Chain A
């Protein structure tokens, strides 16, 4: 009897356990299955399948803003930024009180290079979430970054990352700023920190890889040919420069370049050969302070003359978005046969200040003074202003340049008592992205072409036409090629020059 009771109790227990298990076993809802399926396909790199699955999940419940936002991220990753924007906007509309989602939408406009719309979105967020410090800092940092005001951007982002240490967007932007300021070790530390927080951040991984490559030694070979003829023969020179240059990054603060160039001058039937050995250095104790310098030892065959040319340039970015520059250089004057054969040198000192007016106008004012070894001086000034019509990755700018100078004495080189030019020009530049079409990283700004055309009128009323073209392209990750052409045509002066470059990163 008792034995039966025990057996019955065990059976009841088993039934009880089964009932409890059955209660726990819930049929997974279709939305969760589709969402998992989409995420898994994304991880497998099956992006189209992932997109289709996300859409299926969203169709089951169109109010699920989290899935919509995820689809937006995926579309960004696959380069379909316009589609991504639609998703982010839809998600933000479904969750108007979700600040993170609203900020993502604003960022997405930035990823689509719609910077002004992005800033308008940030302003809209700030109206709704008044006094949100993180959004304010992000908006200010983004605006400065997109305007190229790196110091201001860095200051805002550094404050923001203190508030939001896991903010992947700001960590990535700080990495990009460090890369643009040629501080690769700092950029790498930021990318590693970002990847620790978000291991799947593809652009950070790519930035890290490219940044590490930038630190490796580089060997560049180039050839340039210049032909300048005009001003009644006062500027009349033709020479080719063949060179090789190596680059080393000692640290984020210090880099060096060592090169050799062979210059072949052509003066009618005569020619002259010169050898140039150059050491260049770059010293960047801070992102906003740069000191660059060079020293070139020259030897002219046949003349048996040895010379040393030197130069240094100091640049400082202020917190009020101004860039102050000062540079000095001492160079041999290569303007015509006389200046080369007589060994005339020029000591040139220049100072400039540049800044921006609003989001579209950039300006630079420069003053310069030059002293020539044949007892002559020159004083000049220049104003440049540009108006930005298109933003990165396409840049269309209208330019104005006013330039004036005067020499103390008439000499064999082009040395009028007073001379001025006014130039209007248009410049278009397009970045291809690297290494895929949609990656525009600061570490890889190489794939680009630029076209420039300008018309100048000088103080004698003579018109000048100037055209320039430049192409740089990475054939393979370690091998870059570049080509640039320049041509000036007028009734008083003609010039053309061309340069080819090939560089290999070890």
Chain B
């Protein structure tokens, strides 16, 4: 009898402890749902071509979770699509501040540079991308072409030599 009382007591105690642990999680549940919905909603808006709505949703998401860098990068691309280039650059720079080797953000900066016609930024982004992905011939070709078009022929020649395997 005593043994059964002990068993039940243990079970009850475990149940109580479990309940006590589980209870604080309940208030967070609405917050998690909102992030999920915001991200889904932002992507859906992007797919629909409604970039301004996507941007609003991404921003709301990042207000609550500023370290969601993938979402921040997606916001950068949405801003580019909406033609808000300087804001997009800020987002990519923000990601790169935390992750300097993030190639996707460098590509975002490259695209932003192209959209805004900032030649120095284009070269800088391509140089960094070639450094991070030295085997990507397309990026090296773009860099060589950019340097050539800017009259930096000697620098372009270095990359051309790599492309030609000289």
Contact residues in B for A475 (Cβ distance below 8 Å): none
Do A26 and B36 touch across chains, with their CB atoms under 8 A apart?
no
In the complex the two chains form, what is the Cα distance from A36 to B158 in whole Å?
12
Within 8 A of B (CB), among A10-60: 10, 13-14, 17-18, 21, 25-28, 32-34, 36-37, 39-41, 43-44
Chain A residues whose CB sits within 8 angstroms of the CB of B164 once the complex forms = 33-34, 37
B138 touches A37 (CB 8 A): no
Contact partners of B32 in chain A: CB under 8 A? 2-3, 6
B115-166 residues with Cβ-Cβ distance < 8 A to A are 136-139, 141, 144-145, 148, 151, 153-154, 156-157, 160, 163-164
CB of B70 within 8 A of CB of A28, answer: no
Contacts of A10 in B (CB 8 A): 39, 68, 70-71
Complex Cα gap A317–B148 (Å): 48
Verify A40–B156 contact, CB threshold 8 A.
Answer: yes
List A contacts of B33 (CB < 8 A).
2
Instruction: Please tell me which one of the listed residues B35, B107, B138 contacts residue A27 in the complex, with CB atoms under 8 A apart.
Output: B138
How big is chain A's contact interface, by range? 20 to 34
Asked if B29 and A28 sit within 8 Å, CB to CB, the answer is no
Let me know if A21 and B157 touch, CB within 8 A.
no
Per a CB cutoff under 8 Å, which of A6, A17, A27, A36 touches B137?
Answer: A27
Complex interface: chain B residues within 8 A of A5 (CB): 36
Q: A10-B71, A25-B136, A36-B160 are in contact. Are A44 and B154 (CB under 8 A)?
A: yes
- Taking A6-B36, A21-B107 as contacts, is the C-beta distance between A32 and B160 under 8 angstroms? no
Q: Determine how close the nearest CB of chain A comes to the CB of B154; give it in whole angstroms.
A: 7
- Residue from B43, B77, B138 within 8 A of A26 (CB atoms): B138
CB of A25, distance to nearest CB on chain B (Å): 5
Contact of A2 among B36, B43, B68 (CB under 8 A): B36
Residue of B nearest to A10 (CB): B70
Q: Is A418 an interface residue (CB 8 A)?
A: no
| 5 A–B pairs (Cβ distance < 8 Å), ordered by A | A6-B39, A25-B138, A27-B137, A36-B145, A44-B153
Interface of A is mostly: helix
Q: Which residues of B contact A17 (CB under 8 A)?
A: 73-74, 77, 104
Report if A9 contacts B (CB, 8 A): yes
Instruction: Judge if B40 is at the interface, Cβ distance under 8 Å.
Output: yes
Contact A43 B138 (CB under 8 A): no
B57 to chain A, nearest CB (A): 13
Q: Give the distance in Å from the alpha carbon of A384 to the alpha carbon of B131 in the complex.
A: 75
Q: Could you tell me how many residues of chain B have their Cβ less than 8 Å away from some Cβ of chain A?
A: 32
Which residues of A pack against B, CB within 8 Å?
2-3, 5-6, 9-10, 13-14, 17-18, 21, 25-28, 32-34, 36-37, 39-41, 43-44
Known contacts A13-B43, A21-B107, A28-B163, A40 near B36 by CB under 8 Å? no
Task: Evaluate contact between B148 and A9: CB separation under 8 angstroms.
Answer: no
Enumerate chain B residues within 8 angstroms of A3, measured Cβ to Cβ: 32
From B33, which residue of chain A is reached at the shortest CB distance? A2
**Taking the nearest CB of chain B, how far is it from the CB of A117, in angstroms?**
36
A116 vs chain B, min Cβ distance (A): 40
B5, chain A: closest CB distance, angstroms: 37
Cross-chain contact B157 with A41 (CB below 8 angstroms) = yes
A5, A14, A37, A43, most chain B CB atoms within 10 A: A37
**A17 vs B148: C-alpha distance when bound (angstroms):** 30
Q: Whole-angstrom distance from the CB of A471 to the nearest CB of chain B?
A: 41
Q: Of B35, B74, B154, B156, which is within 8 A of A13 by CB?
A: B74
Which chain A residues border B74 with CB–CB below 8 Å? Answer: 13, 17
* New A-B contacts (8) at CB < 8 Å, excluding given A9-B40, A43-B151: A2-B32, A13-B74, A18-B104, A21-B107, A28-B137, A33-B163, A37-B164, A41-B157
